Structure 1
Amino acid sequence: MTVLIVGSLNTDILVRVRQAPQPGETVLGDDAQIAPGGKGANQAVAAARAGASVAFCGAVGHDSFAPVPREALAAAGVDLTHLRELDVPSGVALITISDDGENSITVASGANARLSAADLPADFSGVTHLLMQQEIPEATVLAAARRARAAGAQVMLNAAPARELPDELWLLLDLLIVNEHELAQLAGGPEHQEEAAARSLLARGVGTVIVTLGGRGSLAVTPDQVLEQPAHKIEVLDTTGAGDTFCGVLAAWLAGGVGLADALKAANVAGALACTKLGAQAAMPTGEEIKAALKS
C-alpha cells in the first residue's frame, strides 16, 4: 500500500520571538535554525514515520538549499525516485514563532511553483492513496488527481493555502482536508459553522470533508455521517507542522486499511503530539508514539 505525496519541499529558516512583529516593526529573536520543510515534504515524513510506504514527487533547484529537505526525506525512508531537480532556486520558508506557540510564515516557492504535469510519475500503479497540497501549481494538482483516479487510488487534497478549485477537481477528490479558515474561504461563509460549510463542499462533488479545528479537535463530514473528534490535550510549544502531521498520518492510517473514524483519531493525536516539540519534521511522532498516546 503506497502513499504518493505530490507537493512542495522547502528549507525552513525559523526564528523564535516573544511576539510576532507588527507591520513596520523590528523585533529581536533567538538564533535562527535551519530545518527541512514544505507542506508536501512534511506530510511525506509524517506518513513515513507513521509506518506507511511513501513516495514523493516534487522539485528542488541546484543550490545550497536543496540538500536540506532532500536528505531529510531520504532519512525518513521516503522514496525519492520522482524528486526532480530544476534550474531554478529551491523553495525557502521564513518562519517566525512567538512564545505563545503561534507562527507566521512567508514562503518563496522557487522550484515548487515550476513542478509541472510532465514531472509526475507516468505510472500510478501500486499507489493506493494520493495526497496533495496547494503549494504547487493548480494544473499539476489536477493532472495528478486525474492519473490517480484512473489508477483506482484514493485522491486526497489538503487545500492549503486556500484557493478556489476548478470544477473538475472537486469531482476527483475522495477526501478534502482544510482548517476552519480554509473551509470558510472555500465555502464562502462565516467561520464556526463547520458542518453546514462542509456540506456545501460535498455538494460540489467531493466525497468527504475533514476540518481541523485546532484546540477543538477535528470534524469529518460525509454524505451519510458526521464524525467529531475532540482535541488531544497537550501543552503547546510550537504549532508549526501540526496540520501537516495530521494530513500525513491520516493518509498513512487510511492506506493501512483503517476506517475513517480510527484514522481521524490517530491523526488528531499525532497533530497534537507535533505541537509539543519545536519545528515541523523534527517534532513529528513515530507510529509507536502515536499508538502509545492513543492507549493513554
Structure 2
Amino acid sequence: MSEKFVIGMGEALWDVLPEGKKIGGAPANFAYHVSQFGLPSCVVSAVGDDALGKEILENLSTKGMNMLINTVPYPTGTVQVEIDAAGIPQYDIKENVAWDNIPFNEALENLAKDTKAVCFGSLAQRNVVSRETIGKFLDAIPAENDPLIIFDINLRQGFFTKETICESMQRCNILKINDEELVTISRLFGYPGIDLQDKCWILLGKYNLKMLILTCGVNGSYVFTPGKVSFQPTPSVEVADTVGAGDSFTAAFISSILKGKTVEEAHHRAVETSAYVCTQAGAMPILPSSLTL
C-alpha cells in the first residue's frame, strides 16, 4: 500500500464512565486501532479551547497518532456512559459541542487528496457544519485513489434523519451496521417483515455497495459482498465493557482488506479484535501483537 491515509472523521470526545473518563468517539477509536495495525491513520475532528480539549490532543499525541483536530469556540464533547448488567453502554451525548462544528479548510482538502480510506458515521452529521465538512471531504478524495468509503451508521439518541442516512449510503461503498440499527433503518425505508439477511441483500444492491458488514452481538457477524456472504460466530469472552468494540472491528477489517487479505480473513481478524476489546475497559486498549501482525 502506498503512503496514503486511513481517516476516522467525526466526533472526538470524552466517554465519562463509572470509573472515570476515557478518550473516545467512534472516528478516534477507529483511527487509533488502524494505527495499531501498522497503517498510517489520522483523526479528523474538533475540540474546544478548554482543559478537556487540550487533554484530548495530549492523549492522542501520546498514542503517536496523526491528527487534524481544529480548536473551535465550542466546548469539547463529552458523553455520560452508564454500563448495564450485561456490559452494554447507555449514552447521554452532550449537544452543540466542538465536534459538531468541524471546519472545512485547506489542510483538510489536502488530506483528502492523500486518503485511501475514510470512516464516518451519522452522529457527527447531526449539525449542518460537520455534515457539510464531511461531504466536502468525501468530494475532495480523488477517484483514482480508489478509496474505501465506510459509513459506520452508529445511530445514537435519535441524532439522525432519513435524509442524512440516505445521502450517506449513496456516498459510501462499505456499510457497517448492527442488527438493532438495521431494524431501525428497515422501518425508515419500509422493509418491515423481511429477515435480516434479505434486508442486507436489498441494501447491498440498492446502494451498489462493495460490502455490507452486519454485526449481531453475541449472535455473530456477517459480511455481504455481491453474490457471497461470510459469517463468523462471536467468541465467548468475559466482558469488561463493549465501548469501542464495534470501532475496533471496523478498523481490523479495513486494515486487513488494505493489506490484501481476503474478506474471510479480514472478517476473522475483526471478530478476534473486537472480542479482545470487549475484555478491556474503555475504547482504546493496546492490542496484543498476535492480533496486529
Q: Normalised by the size of structure 2, how large is the TM-score?
A: 0.85
Q: 1:154 aligns with which of 148, 156, 159?
A: 148
**In the superposition, relative to structure 1, how do residues 255 and 191 fare at CA in structure 2: closer, same or farther (>3 Å)?**
farther
Q: 1:140: how far off?
A: 3.0
Stretch of structure 1 that moved more, 135-144 or 226-235: 135-144
Q: 1:235: how far off?
A: 1.6
**In the superposition, relative to structure 1, how do residues 191 and 249 fare at CA in structure 2: closer, same or farther (>3 Å)?**
farther
Q: 1:222 aligns with which of 218, 221, 225?
A: 225
Matches within 5 A, 1:1-296: 1-15=4-18, 32-80=19-67, 82-109=68-95, 110-118=97-105, 121-123=108-110, 124-137=112-125, 138-148=131-141, 150=143, 151-161=145-155, 163=160, 164=162, 165=164, 167-188=166-187, 189=191, 193-202=195-204, 203-281=206-284, 283=285, 285-286=287-288, 288-290=289-291
Q: 1:239: how far off?
A: 1.1
Stretch of structure 1 that moved more, 258-267 or 137-146: 137-146
Q: 1:224: how far off?
A: 1.8
**SS of the residue aligned with 1:35?**
strand
Question: What letter corresponds to residue 107 of structure 1 in structure 2?
Answer: I
Instruction: Note the residue ranges of structure 1 that are not aligned, 5 or more in a row.
Output: 16-31
- Once the two structures are superposed, residues 30-87 of structure 1 have per-residue CA deviations (whole angstroms, 9 ceiling, x without a partner) of xx4121111111111111122221112110010111133322322222211x211101
Percent of residue pairs identical: 22
Poorly superposed stretches of 4+, deviation over 6 Å:
none
Q: 1:94: how far off?
A: 0.6
**In the superposition, relative to structure 1, how do residues 108 and 237 fare at CA in structure 2: closer, same or farther (>3 Å)?**
same
Instruction: Note the residue ranges of structure 2 that are not aligned, 5 or more in a row.
Output: 126-130
Q: Distance in 2 between matches of 1:63 and 1:9?
A: 14
Q: Distance in 1 between matches of 2:119 and 2:179?
A: 19
Q: 1:190: how far off?
A: 5.1
Instruction: Count the aligned residue pairs.
Output: 273
| Greater fraction helix | 2
Question: What letter corresponds to residue 60 of structure 1 in structure 2?
Answer: V
Contact 1:60–1:89, Cα closer than 8 Å, also in 2: yes
Q: Normalised by the size of structure 1, how large is the TM-score?
A: 0.84
- Which residue matches 1:25? none
Q: 1:284: how far off?
A: 5.1
Q: 1:211: how far off?
A: 0.7
Q: Distance in 2 between matches of 1:261 and 1:119?
A: 38
Q: Distance in 1 between matches of 2:282 and 2:55?
A: 14
**In the superposition, relative to structure 1, how do residues 134 and 170 fare at CA in structure 2: closer, same or farther (>3 Å)?**
closer
**In the superposition, relative to structure 1, how do residues 191 and 209 fare at CA in structure 2: closer, same or farther (>3 Å)?**
farther
Q: Distance in 1 between matches of 2:134 and 2:193?
A: 26
**SS of the residue aligned with 2:51?**
coil
Cα RMSD after superposing both structures: 2.3
Contact 2:113–2:142, Cα closer than 8 Å, also in 1: no
Q: Distance in 2 between matches of 1:8 and 1:191?
A: 34
**In the superposition, relative to structure 1, how do residues 239 and 168 fare at CA in structure 2: closer, same or farther (>3 Å)?**
closer
**In the superposition, relative to structure 1, how do residues 176 and 64 fare at CA in structure 2: closer, same or farther (>3 Å)?**
same
- Once the two structures are superposed, residues 202-225 of structure 1 have per-residue CA deviations (whole angstroms, 9 ceiling, x without a partner) of 213333210111112210112221
Question: What letter corresponds to residue 134 of structure 1 in structure 2?
Answer: S
Contact 2:113–2:140, Cα closer than 8 Å, also in 1: no
**In the superposition, relative to structure 1, how do residues 167 and 279 fare at CA in structure 2: closer, same or farther (>3 Å)?**
closer
Q: Distance in 1 between matches of 2:58 and 2:216?
A: 32
**In the superposition, relative to structure 1, how do residues 284 and 267 fare at CA in structure 2: closer, same or farther (>3 Å)?**
farther
Q: Distance in 2 between matches of 1:205 and 1:268?
A: 25
Q: 1:95: how far off?
A: 0.7
